[in-house]
Amino acid sequence: DVEAQARKLFATAFEGADKDAAAPGKEKLEKAVCVVAPGRVNLIGEHTDYNDGFVMPLALKLATVCVARRREDGGNSCRIVSALDPSSMCEFTLDETSDSLVAGKDTSWAKYVKGVIKGYMKELSAAAGSSDGTAVGFDAAFASDVPIGAGLSSSASLEVCTAIMLEQVFGVDSVSPIDRALRCVEAEHTFAMMPCGIMDQYISSCGVKGCALLIDCRSREPTEVNLDDPDLVIVVANSNVKHELTGSEYPDRVKSCKAAVAAVDEEFKSDGKSRTALRDVSIEELQAVKDKGAIDEVTYKRAFHGVSEDKRTLEAVKAAQAADYVTVGKLMVQSHESLRDNYEVSVPEIDFLVDHCLKQEGVFGSRITGGGFGGCTVSLVKSDKAEAVMTELGRAFNEKYGKDCACFATKLEAGARLLWNNNEA
Ligand code: GAF
């Protein structure tokens, strides 16, 4: 299990434990804390978060775990290590005048950790209690079972895990879970150069057990949607096509959406309405600016997806609240079609998984989930059919592509939290 991995890594990396001898669960880990932050899967509301729209994700059991301890000598250096590559320990100081916390200097996995630290420097300096405001460093070991590049928010879970680790290690209690998520989004923007919305970090930080969250990405208000239904299973299938969202595909789509908003705002400015995001735009207005030639066909398609996806998401929430999974499923399929044809973020392997899943008995709906260009599908399935659906998906995918797709059924988990704190006697 991931917690055991993180414990063991901490003991071997920082306590000199013999890596073969450290018995799981028997490490000392004095004065250490252990926190967890989950990955996520999004049921519907894709590529809407950066348009001030609506999303409906849930937190997974797959998660990043961190065991960490404040430096006891009061120094400001940090050591971080990841179970993904235990040999690549990264050391740096909490010194904003040095290079160590400068965006762009580190392109390794440590950039996510450093980006979050940067956003907590004020609290870390205050927590140190030193007269010159120098922050105290820490040692931290990370382990995760969120697959990387699978569209399940491995990087957001690392960021949120880092944030809650800092809060726990340094006794910071002034940061709300939503504020924590926003700081992690900032880290993603500035240190990973990814202009993402707030969904991934938000659900990793604020997830609620048994529920998906409808998140209004403008007001940042969450609404719990209880899906803890024994008749329903959420199935995730990983195409194992690695998505790399660091290329231009994602930023290009963000830009297209903004261009459509600007064109509509310009065209209709005499009505005095303020339009700052796709959230404020209607299909009719989009059509009008397209007809005038103010936006091209591709920009129109991108924006059309965003506007129609918001509507679908709100309808899906209503249907889910009424346990009308047939309607939720239909909306998920429409979402997939729009992501495939209008937003153009799907790939053949994902389309195959969705199409094949929809042919199976007991499937309400299926779609691509996350940023796209590979990654996973999410499907709503009747409980008594879930095993058969997963087996058949695996078989058919292997037959077609000669490789496995990892399928799993997930429960709806809680967001980031403390697992234990050895400072509390
Ligand atoms: C990625 C981004 F990080 C999210 O903010 C969101 O835009 C998603 O793609 C698409 O819905 O996961």
What is the whole-number distance in angstroms between the Cα of residue 182 and the centre of ligand 1?
14
Q: Whose structure tokens read 């995760």?
A: 144
Nearest residue to 304 via CA among 288, 282, 334: 282
Q: Pick from 49, 191, 309, 344 the residue to mutate for probing ligand 1's pocket: most ligand atoms within 8 Å of its CB.
A: 49
What is the whole-number distance in angstroms between the Cα of residue 28 and the centre of ligand 1?
39
The three-state secondary structure class of 383 is helix
Q: State residue 84 phi and psi, 5-degree precision.
A: -70, -25
Secondary structure in 3-state letters for 23-34: CCCCCCCCCCEE
**Has 200 been annotated as catalytic?**
yes
Query: What b/e readout covers 175-193, taking b as 16+ CB neighbours within 10 angstroms?
Result: bebbebbbbbbbbbeebbe
pLDDT of residue 392: 98
Q: 38 vs 112, 155, 277, CA distance in Å?
A: 15, 10, 29
Which pLDDT band holds residue 191 (cuts at 50, 70, 90)? Answer: very high
Q: Which two tokens stand for residue 378?
A: 């999410």
Q: Pick from 188, 200, 252, 342 the residue to mutate for probing ligand 1's pocket: most ligand atoms within 8 Å of its CB.
A: 200
Q: Whose CA is nearest to atom 5 of ligand 1?
A: 197
Residues with CB under 6 A from ligand 1: 46-47, 49-50, 196-197, 199-200, 370-371
Q: Whose CA is nearest to atom 2 of ligand 1?
A: 196
Nearest residue to 152 via CA among 39, 301, 2: 39
**Residues of the chain with pLDDT > 90: what percent?**
88
Q: Whose CA is nearest to atom 9 of ligand 1?
A: 371
Q: Which of 139, 200, 265, 310 is catalytic?
A: 200
Q: Of all atoms in ligand 1, which is nearest to the CA of residue 153?
A: 12
What is the whole-number distance in angstroms between the Cα of residue 313 and the centre of ligand 1?
15
- Dump pLDDT digits (tens) for 78-109: 999 999 988 889 999 998 778 889 998 888 99
Q: Whose CA is nearest to atom 1 of ligand 1?
A: 371
What is the whole-number distance in angstroms between the Cα of residue 196 and the centre of ligand 1?
6
- Lowest mean pLDDT segment, chosen from 37-41, 126-130, 183-187, 391-395: 126-130
Using an 8 Å Cβ cutoff, are 134 and 125 in contact?
yes
Q: Of all atoms in ligand 1, which is nearest to the CA of residue 196?
A: 5
Question: Over 90: is that where the pLDDT of 264 sits?
Answer: yes
Using an 8 Å Cβ cutoff, are 71 and 135 in contact?
no
Q: Which two tokens stand for residue 411?
A: 């429960």
Q: Whose CA is nearest to atom 8 of ligand 1?
A: 371
- Dump pLDDT digits (tens) for 70-80: 998 889 999 99
pLDDT of residue 395: 98
What is the whole-number distance in angstroms between the Cα of residue 185 and the centre of ligand 1?
11
Q: Pick from 152, 157, 199, 257 the residue to mutate for probing ligand 1's pocket: most ligand atoms within 8 Å of its CB.
A: 199
Which pLDDT band holds residue 130 (cuts at 50, 70, 90)? Answer: low
Average pLDDT over residues 3-17: 93
What is the whole-number distance in angstroms between the Cα of residue 242 and the centre of ligand 1?
15
Mean pLDDT taken over the chain:
95
What is the whole-number distance in angstroms between the Cα of residue 197 and the centre of ligand 1?
6
What is the whole-number distance in angstroms between the Cα of residue 42 and the centre of ligand 1?
9
Q: Of all atoms in ligand 1, which is nearest to the CA of residue 250?
A: 9
Q: Of all atoms in ligand 1, which is nearest to the CA of residue 151?
A: 12
Beta bridge partners of 380: 234, 365
Average pLDDT over residues 266-285: 96
Q: Of all atoms in ligand 1, which is nearest to the CA of residue 47?
A: 11
Chain-centroid distance of CA 407 in Å reads 19
Q: Whose CA is nearest to atom 7 of ligand 1?
A: 47
Q: Which two tokens stand for residue 283?
A: 């299909």
Q: Of all atoms in ligand 1, which is nearest to the CA of residue 49?
A: 7
Average pLDDT over residues 370-380: 97
pLDDT of residue 100: 86
